[in-house]
Structure 1
Amino acid sequence: MYEILKSAHSGWRYLVIILLLVAFVNALIGYAGKKPYTEGNRKLNLFTLISAHIQLLLGLVLYFMHDWYRGDSAVAAQRYWKMEHIGMMVLAIVLITVGNSRAKKAATDLIKHRSVFMYFGLALLLITAAIFAMVKADPSRSLFGM
């Protein structure tokens, strides 16, 4: 069961990153071009939010199934998986959630695009930093975690 969940978590990340990147670029174009916030924008942001939350649930199940919380914090790779990875990913998903929520509640289309651009952009930056931190902590892993 663990290997199936690990494979699902590993594969699902690509969907999350692609959706997050597309939503970020879409919001940038909408914000810079002062375009209307459409139903398509809303759905893209919602799908990004849902995919990130599914990834979080898969990750939390793996975290507790594998007992990562018991790892030795003195060892860089164990510390990364025990604290850094989960902390950065939870924060990134919180940013995605806040960005989507603020976009839903915003009064104007420009503010909606700006909210998604800012919060999804910060989440994307945090996820990218986590990828680089993973490679630094565990040199056996490649840039895309394979």
Structure 2
Amino acid sequence: METIQFIHSGWAYIVLLVLIIATVNALIKFFGNKEYGALDFRLALFSLITMHIQLLIGIILFFTKGYFDEMSVGEVMKNDSIRKLAVEHPTLMIIAVALVTIGYSKHKKKLVSKPKFKLLSIFYSIALIAVLYMIPWNQWLS
């Protein structure tokens, strides 16, 4: 279980970096009226892939951590720190992955650069905010 926790925490740096790069790229190119190219596609795709890998690692970690093996749901919900790790973090991260997935899928259907970047900017920005909000900073930075 410690190995999975280590992988989940380490991979999170890659996810965060790639998501920031993809989001900033989409915002700059949207507001700069730039053309959509192969690099933009790769950044959006790599962000999608890293997020999904992190989700899979997180799901494995969630079920091996066993928050609900030793405590009842009521006990977990009453404890702020455990609730954040066992309920709030997974829920909001799943929503963030869904946002990236929706943004990526919708942007592929657009034929012109501006709408592509608009969709990526909106969905990836909201996902990035969710990710930044739900990172357990007290554990991550210590």
In the alignment, what sits opposite 2:108? 104
Relative to structure 1, the CA distance from residue 62 to residue 107 in structure 2 (aligned partners, 3 Å threshold; closer, same or farther) is same
Which secondary structure does the structure 2 equivalent of 1:63 belong to? helix
> How many residue pairs were aligned?
137
- Displacement of 1:107: 2.5
Going by fraction, where is helix more abundant, 1 or 2? 2
**Runs of 4+ residues deviating >4 angstroms:** none
Gaps of 5+ in 2: none
Distance 1:106 1:74, change over 3 A: same
Q: Deviations over 1:94-144 (max 9, x none)?
A: 00101111111112110000111100000011111113xx45xxxxx25x4
Which one scores higher on RCO, CA 8 angstroms, separation ≥ 6?
2
1:68–1:81 Cα contact (<8 Å) kept: no
How far apart, CA to CA, are the structure 2 residues paired with 1:114 and 1:107? 12
Per-residue deviation, residues 4-33 of structure 1 (Å, max 9, x unmatched): 111110000010011000001110111011
Query: What is residue 84 of structure 1 aligned with on the other side?
Result: 88
Matched residue SS, 1:73: helix
> What amino acid is the match of 2:83?
R
Distance 1:11 1:56 in 2: 13
Aligned to 1:119: 123
Equivalent residues of 1:27, 1:116 under 8 A apart: yes
Please name the residue that 2:46 is paired with. Answer: 47
Q: What TM-score do you get using the length of structure 1 for normalisation? A: 0.88
CA shift at 1:69, angstroms? 4.1
User: Compared with structure 1, are the counterparts of its residues 120 and 46 closer, same or farther at alpha carbon in structure 2 (3 Å cutoff)?
Assistant: same
CA RMSD, 1 decimal: 1.4
Change (3 A) 1:27 1:17: same
Query: Structure 2 CA distance, aligned partners of 1:106 and 1:69?
Result: 44
Supply the distance in 2 between the matched residues of 1:17 and 1:100 (Cα, whole angstroms).
17
Q: In structure 2, what is the equivalent of residue 57 of structure 1?
A: 56
Paired letter, 2:17: I
